[in-house]
Each structure stands twice: as C-alpha cells, then as structure tokens.
Chain A
C-alpha cells in the first residue's frame, strides 16, 4: 500500500462540469477536495448526480469542463495509458455490484490481482483469506447467481479492497442489505479507513448518515455540491 500522509488532498475537483452527449449538465461547477485518510459520505437525493460524481472519481468518465486532480495527477493531462495505474489505486463498490456472473466468488475477487499480473499462488493464498474475513469462506466456488444480495455485496467489497486501494469509492453499498449487514459493512469500511484508505460512501440513506454523524459529508443537489461538512468535533 502506498498511503499518503494524512491531510494531503488525495482528490480535488475545481469547477468541474459534466454532461452526457448534448444533454444538460448533470454536474455544474463542482468544487471540493478530500484529504488523504479521510472518510466521507457523499449524500444527496436520488438523481442529484452522486453516481456521476463517483464515475468521475473512479475515472469512468472525463469531465466536460473543469479540473480533476487525483493522486496529484491532473486527469486532463494524464496520458490514457497511464490511467490504469491510477485506477489500480482505487477500489470501487458499484451500486449494482457488477460481479461477473460466469466467475466464482473467488475469481471475481481475484480480478484486480489478475489484471496486475499477480502470481496465481499469491491469489490462491490471499483471496480465500479475504473472503473468509467478509464471512464467505464457504462460498469460494459459488457463482454470483447463487448468492444472496448481501453476499454479493460482500464479494463486491472484497473485490474492491483486495488490491489495498488508496481510495475506496462505494456507491450505495448498504442499499440492498438489512440494517445489521449495513452496520457491519460500515464498520468494515471504518477498519479499512483506520488502515489508511481514503473512503467515500455515496448514499441517500439519511438514517445511516445520522448513525455515523461524526463522519464528514459532501452533499450534492441538482448537480451542484451544496455543502462540504467537516468532521464533527469528537467524532
């Protein structure tokens, strides 16, 4: 892991705008910065632009205007062949998990390691350990279609963290699980954050935000960041 000193900005948006094709701007003049080692909620109502903002963060899109700086690299001037190296420092938990249905839980979690060319012996050692850690030791060979929503979510999270990312982005990670599992996932994210991973959890679940009231949040409405609340004292 190449965690940066806490406090330095790991990601910065300056007047970022985004539109799909010739449509209206779904993000307008978005400006904020997230310090390394922080844990933020990204909140806002459905359709506010949370997922689009996350896609810009995990380099699934390029902004139509403005400046995105990730790991001190201006994305606009970063060569395309250099982007995979940046993406490998980001773990993503997609809202719909995006597990590969034809692969087992083990192979799904192993994907980030395989694209990096990690030796198979290392994969067979570390992936089962992580799956056991998220409570899926008995489901290594299970295909996603045989797993419950909560189990799929844990596989997705394991895939996001197996590469020990500097930045973990989770899009509605508690949207499909009951409260008990949602809390377990949040505690898991907190553990990762303590180990140095910067975490952003996008959610419209206000109850969850209230439970972790000590965490700062970036709030977005109508494609604009309306407030960036810093961590509460004593949180």
Chain B
C-alpha cells in the first residue's frame, strides 16, 4: 500500500493538509465515546453483579420515649423474619453507627445528624439459584414488623440500566456521526482532487488505465492521511483518558464505581486509527469510481 507507484501528484493537495487534522479530531472524539460506552457497560455489569443476590430491608425509626430501643427491637424482629425465609444465606443489620458512616459523605459527622431519626438498613444475601416470592416475603415482613419494607433494587437498577443503555446508544450514534462526517469530508476532498487533476486523470483514462488504477492512487493517499491523522488523534486521546481515569479515582466517597477501561476497550480504541483510515480509503475509492463512471 505504501510506496506503491503513483502517477498523480496528490501530496500537494489541500486535502493533504486538512484531512489528517480532521481525522485526528474525529478519532479523539470517537475514542472518548468508545471509552465512555465501555466504562458504562462495565459499571452496569458491576452494579448488576453486586445487586443480584442481595435484598435490602429498610426499617423506619420508631417514635416515643424509648425510640432507640424500639427501633432496635424492630430491626431484631425483621432480622428474624428474614432468616426464616428459605434461600436466604446471610442477614446483616447495620447498626446506627454504620448507618451514620454511610451518610457521612452527604450529611457530615456532626452531633445534629446523630439525633436525626434515621431509618435502619438490613443487608440480606440470598441464593441466586433459589426462587423467592418477594411479594409474599414483603407482605409477611410488613405484617410482622411495623415500618419495615423490602427493596430488591430492581426498579432502581432497571432505571439506571435504561439510562446507561441510552448513553451507550448515544455513544454509538456519536461514533456513527463521526464516521459519516469523516466520509463526507473524504468525498469532498477526493472530488476536489479529481477536479484539480482532471487533465492527468483524463490522460490515464485515455491510455487505457482501468478505473481502479486511478481510484487506488486516491485510496492509498486517503489511507496514508487517515493513518497519520488517526495516530495523532490516538496520541491526544490516550493522555486525556488517563487524566480522566486518574481524576475519577481521586473522587472521594466511593459512590462512583471504578471507572476502569477493560482490555477490549483499549484494543478498540487502538484500532480506531486503522478503522478511520480504512473508512477514508474505502470512501475515496468509491468516490473515484463513481466520478469516473461518468467518463466514456
């Protein structure tokens, strides 16, 4: 592909100056979108994995003089109810101290917070292979323990997954748009190049050159420019992704899951320059064939 003979002086064309920069920008944006899609996919998987097989029981605080003791009693009752459910592997109640620790990133650790009537949480681990009638368990729980409710996270998770899937599709649409813009630019650049070199193309045509002989020269040039631009874009994207990852890891509170990019993500991003160059090459080739087909 490289080093092949070319009869057309394409190196001096305007396309040679702007196409690499455009492809660089496109690859940079595509790398961001692809990285975002992979990270979100990983986050969904981890949430799904973490949440499946777990239930949370929420116990509202009791009122009155002995509120604390009454609440402890409700928690104890709820733990007992849940332990009797077939398929439950572990039941672990969070005491008030642990609940406060969970809320500390949002509410702080002042004494005022300690006086607030906070609901108590019970973490329940179930055997994922055993079917549990959650509606029946929730009913039994609310009858046995006033103010207790069961949450299997499904509603929360499904909404979150829907949001994440939407973002993933958005990333795919962004990559497709980037590809379309790159193609349109290559079409424009190729047609301009063909107009500039019309005289040479006509001579080649008249001495018996097949359309593909001419198209190959434009395609080779587009590929070379695409690779050069793509590598520039990759060179910009990798430090940016590293910086974003580093910033995400520094976030305090731990409410965000780990934003690491899987190996497949890195491989896909590394292939983007090749994909962009391939797209540019194919587009140039088809454009030249389309234009030459109008010659006799």
Contacts and interface: CB of A to CB of B under 8 A. Distances in A.
Interface of A: 58-62, 80-81, 83-85, 87-88, 92, 98, 100, 102-103, 107, 111-112, 114-116, 159, 163
Contacts of A159: 207
Contact of A88 (B7, B9, B200, B208): B208
Q: Top 9 closest A-B pairs, CB basis?
A: A88-B208, A87-B208, A115-B209, A102-B9, A84-B208, A112-B207, A62-B296, A84-B210, A98-B203
A58 B206 CA distance: 7
A115 B208 contact: yes
Contacts of A62: 296
Contact of B296 (A60, A112, A116): A60
The residue in A58, A114, A115, A116 that gathers the most chain B C-beta atoms within 10 A of its C-beta is A115
B247 interface: no
Nearest to A114: B5
B47 interface: no
Contact of A114 (B7, B200, B202): B7
B204 interface: yes
A153 to B, nearest CB: 16
A100 B296 contact: no
A115 B207 contact: yes
B18 interface: no
B204 A115 contact: yes
B235 to A, nearest CB: 32
Interface residues of B, number: 17
A111 B199 contact: no
B213 interface: yes
A225 B108 CA distance: 102
Contact of A103 (B7, B213, B293, B296): B7
Interface of B: 5, 7, 9, 199-200, 202-210, 213, 293, 296
A60 B206 contact: yes
Nearest to B9: A102
A114 B209 CA distance: 9
B213 to A, nearest CB: 5
B292 to A, nearest CB: 10
Contacts of B205: 87
Contacts of B213: 115
B206 A92 contact: yes
18 contacts: A60-B202, A62-B296, A81-B210, A84-B208, A85-B208, A87-B205, A87-B207, A87-B208, A98-B199, A98-B202, A103-B7, A112-B207, A112-B208, A114-B5, A115-B204, A115-B208, A115-B210, A163-B208
Contacts of A111: 7, 203-204, 207
A81 B204 CA distance: 15
A61 B208 contact: no
A85 B209 CA distance: 9
A88 B207 contact: yes
Nearest to B213: A115
Given A80-B293, A84-B210, A87-B208, 10 more contacts: A59-B296, A83-B296, A92-B207, A98-B202, A100-B200, A100-B203, A102-B9, A107-B7, A111-B207, A163-B207
A101 B204 CA distance: 14
Contacts of A102: 9
A90 B162 CA distance: 67
Contacts of B296: 59-62, 80, 83
Contacts of A103: 7
Contacts of B209: 84, 115
A107 B207 CA distance: 14
B208 A116 contact: yes
Contacts of B203: 98, 100, 111
A163 B203 CA distance: 15
